[in-house]
Chain A
Amino acid sequence: MAAVPSQFPPPVDSPDEFVKRELDPEDERIEVGVAIVGGGPAGLACANRLLQLIAEDGALAEQLGEVPVAVVEKGKACGAHNLSGAVMNPSALRELFPDMDESEWPTQLEVEKESVYWMLSSKLALPLWPVPPPFRNHGNVVVSVAELSRWLAEKAEEAGAYILTETSAQQLLVEDGVVRGVRSGDKGRGKEGEPLGNFEPGSDLVARATVLAEGTWGHLTGAAIREFDLGAGREPQVWALGVKEVWEVEKPLDRVIHTLGWPLRYGAKWQEFGGSWIYPMADNRVSIGFVAGLDHTDAEMSVHDVLQQFKGHKRVRRILEGGKRVAWGAKAIPEGGYWAMPKLSAPGVVLAGDSGGMVNVPRLKGLHYAIHAGILAADAIYRALKNGSTDLRAYEEMVEESAIGTDLYETRNMKQPFGRGFFVGGAITNAMVVTKGRFPGGRWKNHRDADAPVFRGGKSRKYPKPDGRYTFDKLSSVFITGNATRDDAPNHIRVQKDVPRELAEAWVWMCPAGVYELPEDAPQEGPVDLIVNYTNCVQCGAITAKGGRLTPPEGGDGPLYQIT
């Protein structure tokens, strides 16, 4: 018995709910120069770059008024909802702050050694030598993206940006086919959406140009793509889910490690594409995470539990022995590559970073592209503002011609072959790597994650029972993210009611935060109305890939990531 998630779409009407077509009267609006949605690397790089340009241009500064740059961030602080491995190419920081000494960068450490292992079983690991090209990271640096965002936010604030944390962007303001800004989310609504005693409605943030840098699950990005048909002629976007932990360990790790293989299965029918990373950080810490594509077919696939299982591997246990878990988090990653990038601009708006699908899947890189894109967005907007125009198409060319376009084009077909299984996929992708993408060429299609049928495949039998020392359950993991959403908040997750049992179970396993729960009286076959514990949600975005829809909760809700 299998169920196809996309046949049970979430109750959402994007153009109606997420686009606002009439602006508030002038005295109720908030006018800013440029509105940037998302306080992550892309958005903050854009903010910093814009302010650099404005500092040199008094005339424009006057034009833009009191608030030249406003960054809207739904987390409690910038970085609160950021999570990544991460090994970053520092070229982007060099470009953003050319006069800054490298010692000031918020990096954890420089990559020295690297290893790739093919995990054959829970005990055996085959080192791949020489290290396959996509995994070579010499010259790159290990960072915590949450820390990086905090640092970028500080710099932006010093330069004059208004960083509006705890503020969600709920609707796109569109007037006569031009994006005029965003509307911030309401606060103080109750469980059924009813206004409570301290209800505070959102405001229209009206701007001359808007940047959508919302990360992997752009809520307004989705709305913009619908509104302006930015997905036309492109492959659908697909995602993977990454679950990560940070550990304090006894012996410092001396190398950057990537693995493939166990505990993922090789057969094409499972569609289990992914692997792990283990990166050293400063102060004897280690970042360890597991990533797997969300088009997996086994309803019992749970990346959180796979990570717990993975930590039982002999080699991994050696690294974590005597250590202590200090952080946990989860986030989806766009893996559609070049062909899935949407059109990156519409009148008055541009998309930057993960929102625009700017992730190089084989190389596992997205941070420096996000920062580059932010810089390019700032440059394009600057020019348009000088000309009094809302036409930002120049940005699309700039991205195409930059390293973002070049690198993503080269790796444009490298994930899709894995749809044929690990070995066939691996062989094909290898050929692509060697020929820099030329062979076999063409355009390989993406299949929507939600179109993959799910069935019970028994993966959960191997998941370890949490021991509270090396392996952990979902609820205690959510707890250490600092997630403490109020209990009477409205439900921000949209899923259909009464779905087949296999789909219900798929959602229950998939969610790393334990949001979905089967009611005790759920029938073994037939429609299930899931319990949605939405206050556990860490806003990773996986549900949107697999047939539901994550919308932004009240600003300030969700995790408070600090070193993920």
Chain B
Amino acid sequence: MSDILVYVLHYQGELNKNSLGAVSEGARLAGELGGEAHAIVVGDGDDLTEDLAASLGSYGAAKVFRARAPEGLAQPVVDAMAKVMTDNGHTYALFGGGLLGFEVGAGLAARLGAGVTMEVTEVDVQDGKLVASRPILQDSKISKSRYKERGVIIGRLNAFEAKESGGGAAAVEDVEVELSPQATKATMVERGEQRGEDVDIEGADVLVAGGRGLGKAEGFGLCEELATAMGGAVAATRAVVDAGWYPYSTQIGQTGKTVAPKLYLAAGISGAIQHKVGMQSSENIVAINKDSNAPIFEFSDLGIVGDLNKILPKLTEAVKAKKGG
């Protein structure tokens, strides 16, 4: 019988969706283990209300611990979670994908002398214990982690789906945390500054990527409209970045960024391996290309052989209609 403690990140009164996914996952696993999934939220602002914390019950948390400590930094959370796990005997700590999760999870593993696995895509129960699977070697293999005692499991971005379990409000327990010396030595000066020009390619759920098939730099206008309609961002291949059609910060591939969005829509991209390695882990790949022999059709989930100049504008309209209507 093992309990799982799930870290939940929040910001400006909203709970992080990767964290919600982790809570749902934790609840599912705890059920199989015959234990409970508890959540922990850490913060020092007024937005961390009892209601907000209790709402985690609808994602399956049986109890929520709330600790007052500086926000947005990892080490105070390590202190909070270590205390809760030590006092309450949780066997596992679970995190949704995201930077803070990595930092907290690693520090917590060191504090507790636990085993830790990151970039986890799947968790199962075997013989009453959790086994975490993660891809390695550029997603070419999967390795399974088994923990000798406690385990710290850190999910990959978007690995766990948030599911409302139908549970009611969870009980909230306030926890006093004594901060370790290192936790007091970092101070947040400014949090969450938005910088206009930088679009977060790596964090986007939807990417509309353009390649040589667009024909000219102006072709990216079509991609931008579709991306806006879908609430995503625009990316590019090396060839068009070289030609100056789009900035390097959006380049995907062997010599650019590696992404794994929920949807990667490739317009006018042949799918040579140098590009493929940058996006092959995308959950859904849609390709539009007028050449039926383009390699991209070998690994796309949905391939359309046709003229993107005709298809993209109509698709944009249809998407707007679906979403607006």
Contact = CB atoms under 8 A, between A and B. Distances in A.
State yes or no: do A and B come from one complex: yes
Interface of A: 465, 468, 473, 475-476, 479, 484-487, 520, 533, 535
B194 to A, nearest CB: 27
Nearest to B251: A487
A479 B273 contact: yes
Nearest to B238: A487
Contact of A484 (B241, B255, B272, B298): B255
B88 interface: no
B147 interface: no
B238 A475 contact: no
A475 B248 contact: no
Nearest to A485: B255
Interface of B: 215, 238-239, 241-242, 248, 251, 254-256, 272-274, 293, 295, 298
25 contacts: A465-B293, A468-B298, A473-B295, A475-B272, A475-B273, A475-B274, A476-B272, A476-B273, A479-B254, A479-B273, A479-B274, A484-B254, A484-B255, A485-B255, A486-B255, A487-B238, A487-B241, A487-B242, A487-B248, A487-B251, A487-B255, A487-B256, A520-B215, A533-B239, A535-B255
Given A468-B298, A479-B254, 7 more contacts: A475-B272, A484-B254, A487-B238, A487-B248, A487-B255, A520-B215, A533-B239
A479 B253 CA distance: 12
Contacts of A484: 254-255
A485 B242 CA distance: 13
A475 B238 CA distance: 13
Nearest to B213: A520
In the complex, which of the residues B241, B273, B298 has the most CB atoms of chain A within 10 Å of its own CB atom?
A: B273
A479 B255 CA distance: 12
Nearest to B241: A487
Contacts of B238: 487
Nearest to A478: B274
A114 B272 CA distance: 39
Contacts, number: 25
A559 to B, nearest CB: 14
B266 to A, nearest CB: 16
A14 B80 CA distance: 69
Main secondary structure of the interface of A (DSSP, over half): loop
Sort A-B residue pairs by CB-CB distance and give the 6 closest, nearest first.
Answer: A475-B272, A479-B273, A476-B273, A487-B255, A484-B254, A479-B274
Contacts of B255: 484-487, 535
Contacts of A535: 255
A473 B296 CA distance: 14
B241 to A, nearest CB: 7
Contacts of B242: 487
Contacts of A475: 272-274
A480 B239 CA distance: 19
B209 to A, nearest CB: 16
A501 B170 CA distance: 74
A465 B298 CA distance: 14
Contacts of B239: 533
B219 to A, nearest CB: 13
A476 B241 CA distance: 20
Contacts of A468: 298
In the complex, which of the residues B238, B251, B255 has the most CB atoms of chain A within 10 Å of its own CB atom?
A: B255
A480 B12 CA distance: 47
Contacts of A486: 255
A475 B272 CA distance: 7
A487 B274 CA distance: 12
A535 B251 CA distance: 16
Nearest to A465: B293
Nearest to A475: B272
Contacts of B251: 487
Contacts of A533: 239
A473 B273 CA distance: 10
Contacts of B256: 487
Nearest to B293: A465
In the complex, which of the residues A465, A484, A486, A487 has the most CB atoms of chain B within 10 Å of its own CB atom?
A: A487
Contacts of A465: 293
B307 to A, nearest CB: 14
A473 B276 CA distance: 15
A392 B93 CA distance: 73
Nearest to B298: A468
A58 to B, nearest CB: 50
A468 B293 CA distance: 13
A487 B242 CA distance: 8
Contacts of B254: 479, 484
B9 to A, nearest CB: 35
A485 B295 CA distance: 22
B321 to A, nearest CB: 34
A324 B240 CA distance: 33
A520 B215 CA distance: 9
B257 to A, nearest CB: 12
Nearest to A477: B273
Contacts of A479: 254, 273-274
A542 B274 CA distance: 23
A518 to B, nearest CB: 13
Contacts of B298: 468
Nearest to B256: A487
Nearest to A486: B255
Nearest to A480: B273
A353 B11 CA distance: 67
A485 B293 CA distance: 27
Contacts of B293: 465
B22 to A, nearest CB: 35
B15 to A, nearest CB: 40
